[in-house]
């Protein structure tokens, strides 16, 4: 028979002297959570009860002993009541402020200790904690121009919206020694109930019960739960086996939001399309519900059963459905949500999700050129990376591990090379096996390797060792190509590395071409290609199938080229700048000028401007400064296709002289090819409406048209490849 004991606690309990000698243990897991929440948006306040089923892990809890259980809890929340079922609560201790280590992060959770004895069954017992407090953050402080993620927000309640992330420990979380734990201990079953609030919708990262207004349950064991909400309008539709919902911020006096329904319908349709598209590849969609929410701050966050997008993304029109936005977050339903990441071995899910959507989304639409551009951009990214940042892919998500660029760009490229090696069918077979075998569990890189080996029948030790466990990449060079007697001999070099590679070559003939792959394992190699006729040229990997370091002249110039160094010169026209121009300048300076020993300066395009002022380093040219003779001379040597004329500009004879048109372009600096020269100029202030979005574009040249809805009407990429023209006999 269960017994229940209750202890009323003051705001900060003092540990009883008789318990000072109690030896605490962290060897527990919580297998079930039942959370009941009362949220008061007007007061930024949370009152909650957490009923937890606690299971000792190591059998160290004796029936008669006194034991302490440690929890992390948000610093602004305080336990006021503790109840145990099947045990006796002795005391509850809040970690005093003076015990916190010096320099501790302001938002780090506090450690609380619950002391229990008289445990009836050492295999498990239940604890119910009541806690409350105010959760309020400065949302604006975390917003960054040109970025869609505000990672600073983790625990906020307000009339504008609620966001309670599991990372904020807004409910009691077992405190583990992170150097010695099993992530499976973090998995639990969840039930969440939220009391209704007028004109406010709540959503939790679980499945909403049929007919239950605000009660959710987890479909499988999960590592945590998030609760969000706000003043929302809601649209829902049953699409196949999945109920899809879209939440839009409700209209108000300042914003009538007349297009909410139109936007919601587009998201309903596109989400249904993506689910239908990916189920044959990845397995059944993990949930029977999926909700897309317009968040009240900048975000592109995926959680089990839902995705949070900031207002900017939700109102981007068709650009919101470019690969890497909604499709990326939706595919996280498989990778990272249903199949969890084992943090001890790095975060693989961003890499696999980026491959499936940012890259393979183009393939699924028959857009091979779009997929090629993605692969090209991956190698461009690597080639700009500083050596100290070129860390192993498998370290992403670990302390001092690889950055997000490695995870998204290199990770997607690595999975593309894996698919080429084992075959696309075997690749998707392995993905479906991961879904079926690891839903509700943690998976690591070794689990992924095992799945791909099982599906392909290949030993992939070498592949995963060089691309996941180690950093770096080959610097492939086509060093020679000669034709003789219906044979082409090709010589390749990969620098100081000796990667095991499948290297594509393209043999060009007068009217066609031939693609061949060669297996290269040494730093240098020669290959013979039989041909029937005289070739015109040989080109190295023109479709960027191999992730590699490019020569500076090969790197496609984009605005990131201009931002890549420690020197930035901004050339502005005389007089007052449009606000949009200043926004663009701020975006460049925010990247370059924060670097150690960076040199940033602003010069005016007047009689004092000299050629040596812009001789080397990144250069940003604003507005009519592009028409200055010194700037014109520099651009003429840089192969810029832009020509300036009265009232506008032209590109390869196409004239853009309307007030609604602007150009944003980057070319290599002729005196230092690793640096870029970026030009941003419009024919009127109104043409610069996209100034705050420039960092999202990865093209060499774009022409914007802002008549009505702003859109890109011309794109160019200034590419160069390694190609050797064959001498005629």
Q: pLDDT digits over 488-501, tens only? A: 999 999 999 999 99
Q: What is the pLDDT confidence band of residue 319, given thresholds at 50, 70 and 90?
A: confident
Q: pLDDT digits over 142-167, tens only? A: 998 767 889 999 999 999 999 999 99
Question: What is the mean pLDDT of the segment spanning 466-483?
Answer: 96
pLDDT at 722 over 90: yes
Strands 672-682 and 701-705: unpaired
Q: Where are the domains of the chain?
A: 1-136+157-206, 342-469, 477-550, 559-716
Distance (Å, whole) CA 577 – CA 625? 11
The secondary structure of residue 597, as a DSSP letter, is T
pLDDT at 286 over 50: yes
**Residue appearing with tokens 């892990």:** 57
For residue 667, the cross-strand partners are 677
Percent of the chain with pLDDT strictly greater than 70: 92
Q: 424: Cβ–Cβ under 8 A, 6 or more apart, which residues?
A: none
* Same fold yes or no, 1-136+157-206 and 342-469: no
Nearest partner of 375 among 554, 556, 517, 543, judged by Cα = 543
Please give the pLDDT value at position 146: 67
Least confident piece of the model among 305-319, 400-414, 427-441: 305-319
* Cα 376–Cα 382–Cα 384 angle in degrees, nearest 5: 105
Q: What is the pLDDT confidence band of residue 179, given thresholds at 50, 70 and 90?
A: low
Question: CB atoms < 10 A from the CB of 44, how many?
Answer: 18
Nearest partner of 194 among 204, 185, 183, judged by Cα = 204
Please give the pLDDT value at position 58: 67
Distance (Å, whole) CA 244 – CA 269? 9
Note whether 714 and 697 are within 8 A (CB): no
Distance (Å, whole) CA 277 – CA 502? 29
Q: pLDDT digits over 667-702, tens only? A: 999 999 889 999 999 999 999 998 988 988 889 999
Specify the 3-state DSSP secondary structure of 645.
Answer: strand
Question: What is the mean pLDDT of the segment spanning 8-21?
Answer: 37
Distance (Å, whole) CA 30 – CA 712? 52
Looking at 1.10.390.10, 1.10.10.10, 1.10.760.10, 1.10.8.50, the CATH number of the domain 342-469 comes to 1.10.390.10
Quote helix, strand, coil % in the chain, to nearest 5: 30, 35, 40
Q: What is the pLDDT confidence band of residue 177, given thresholds at 50, 70 and 90?
A: low
Say how many Å lie between the first and final Cα of the chain, rounded: 97
What CATH architecture does domain 1-136+157-206 belong to?
Sandwich (2.60)
Distance (Å, whole) CA 370 – CA 698? 12
Q: What would the 3-class secondary structure string for 21-82 be? A: CCCCECCEEEEEEEEEEEEEHHHCEEEEEEEEEEEECCCCCCCCCCEEEEEEECCCEEEEEE
For residue 324, is it left (φ>0), alpha (ψ between -120 and 50) or beta? Answer: left
Q: pLDDT digits over 501-511, tens only? A: 999 999 999 99
CATH code at 477-550: 2.60.40
pTM over 0.85: yes
Q: What is the pLDDT confidence band of residue 22, given thresholds at 50, 70 and 90?
A: very low
Max mean pLDDT range (52-56, 145-149, 270-274): 270-274
pLDDT at 25 over 60: no
């Amino acid at each position: 028979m269960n017994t229940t004991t209750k202890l009323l606690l003051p705001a900060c309990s003092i540990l009883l002297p008789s318990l000072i000698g109690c030896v605490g243990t962290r060897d527990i897991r919580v297998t079930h959570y039942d959370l009941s929440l009362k949220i008061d948006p007007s007061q930024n306040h949370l009152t909650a009860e957490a009923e937890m089923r606690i299971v000792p892990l190591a059998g160290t809890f004796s029936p008669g002993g006194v034991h302490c259980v440690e929890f992390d809890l948000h610093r602004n929340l305080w336990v006021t009541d503790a109840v145990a079922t099947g045990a006796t609560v002795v005391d509850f201790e809040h970690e005093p402020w003076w015990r916190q280590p010096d320099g501790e992060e302001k938002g780090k959770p506090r450690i609380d200790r619950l002391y229990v004895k008289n445990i009836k069954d050492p295999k498990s017992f239940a604890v119910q904690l009541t806690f409350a407090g105010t959760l309020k953050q400065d949302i604006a402080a975390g917003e960054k121009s040109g970025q869609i993620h505000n990672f600073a927000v983790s625990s906020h309640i307000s009339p504008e919206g609620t966001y309670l992330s599991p990372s904020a420990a807004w409910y009691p979380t077992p405190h583990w020694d992170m150097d010695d734990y099993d992530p499976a201990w973090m998995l639990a079953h969840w039930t969440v109930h939220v009391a209704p609030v007028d004109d406010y919708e709540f959503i939790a990262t679980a499945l909403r019960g049929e007919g239950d207004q605000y009660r959710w349950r987890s479909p499988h064991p999960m590592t945590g739960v998030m609760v969000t909400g706000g003043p929302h309008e809601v649209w829902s539709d049953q699409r196949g086996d999945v109920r899809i919902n879209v939440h839009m911020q409700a209209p108000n006096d300042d914003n009538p939001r007349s297009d909410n329904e139109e936007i919601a319908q587009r998201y309903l349709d596109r989400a249904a399309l993506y689910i239908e598209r990916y189920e044959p590849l990845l397995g059944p969609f993990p949930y029977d519900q999926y909700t897309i929410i317009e968040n009240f701050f900048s975000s592109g966050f995926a959680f089990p059963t839902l995705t949070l997008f900031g207002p900017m993304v939700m109102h981007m029109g068709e650009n919101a459905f470019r690969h890497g936005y909604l499709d990326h977050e939706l595919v996280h339903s498989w990778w990272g949500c249903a199949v969890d990441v084992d943090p001890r071995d790095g975060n693989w899910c961003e890499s696999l999700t980026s491959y499936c959507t940012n890259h393979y989304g183009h393939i699924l639409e028959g857009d091979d050129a779009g997929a090629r551009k993605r692969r090209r951009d991956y190698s461009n990214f690597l080639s700009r990376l500083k050596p100290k940042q070129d860390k192993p892919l498998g370290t992403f998500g670990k302390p001092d591990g690889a950055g997000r660029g490695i995870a998204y760009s290199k990770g997607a490229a690595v999975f593309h090379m894996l698919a080429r090696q084992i075959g696309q069918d075997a690749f998707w077979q392995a993905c479906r096996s991961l879904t079926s075998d690891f839903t509700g569990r943690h998976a690591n890189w070794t689990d992924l390797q095992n799945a791909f080996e099982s599906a392909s029948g290949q030993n992939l030790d070498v592949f995963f060792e060089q691309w996941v466990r180690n950093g770096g990449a080959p610097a492939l060079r086509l060093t020679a190509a000669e034709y003789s007697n219906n044979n082409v001999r090709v010589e390749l070099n990969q620098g100081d590395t000796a990667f095991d590679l499948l290297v594509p070559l393209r043999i060009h003939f007068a009217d066609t071409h031939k693609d061949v792959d060669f297996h290269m394992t040494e730093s240098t190699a020669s290959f013979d290609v039989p041909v029937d006729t005289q070739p015109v040229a040989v080109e190295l990997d023109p479709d960027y199938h191999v992730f590699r370091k490019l020569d500076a002249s090969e790197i496609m110039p984009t605005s990131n080229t201009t931002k890549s160094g420690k020197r930035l010169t901004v050339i502005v026209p005389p007089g007052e700048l449009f606000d949009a121009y200043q926004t663009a300048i701020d975006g460049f300076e925010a990247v370059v000028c924060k670097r150690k020993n960076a040199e940033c300066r602003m010069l005016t395009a007047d009689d004092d401007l000299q050629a040596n002022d812009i001789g080397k380093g990144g250069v940003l040219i604003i507005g009519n400064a592009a028409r200055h003779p010194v700037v014109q001379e520099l651009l003429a040597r840089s192969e810029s296709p832009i020509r300036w004329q009265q009232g506008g500009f032209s590109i390869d004879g196409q004239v853009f002289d309307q007030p609604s048109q602007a150009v944003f372009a980057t070319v290599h600096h002729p005196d230092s090819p690793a640096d870029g020269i970026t030009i941003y100029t419009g024919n009127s202030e109104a043409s610069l409406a996209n100034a705050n979005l420039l960092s999202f574009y990865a093209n060499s040249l774009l022409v914007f048209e802002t008549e009505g809805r702003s859109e890109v009407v011309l794109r160019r990429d200034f590419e160069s490849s390694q190609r050797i023209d064959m001498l005629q006999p």
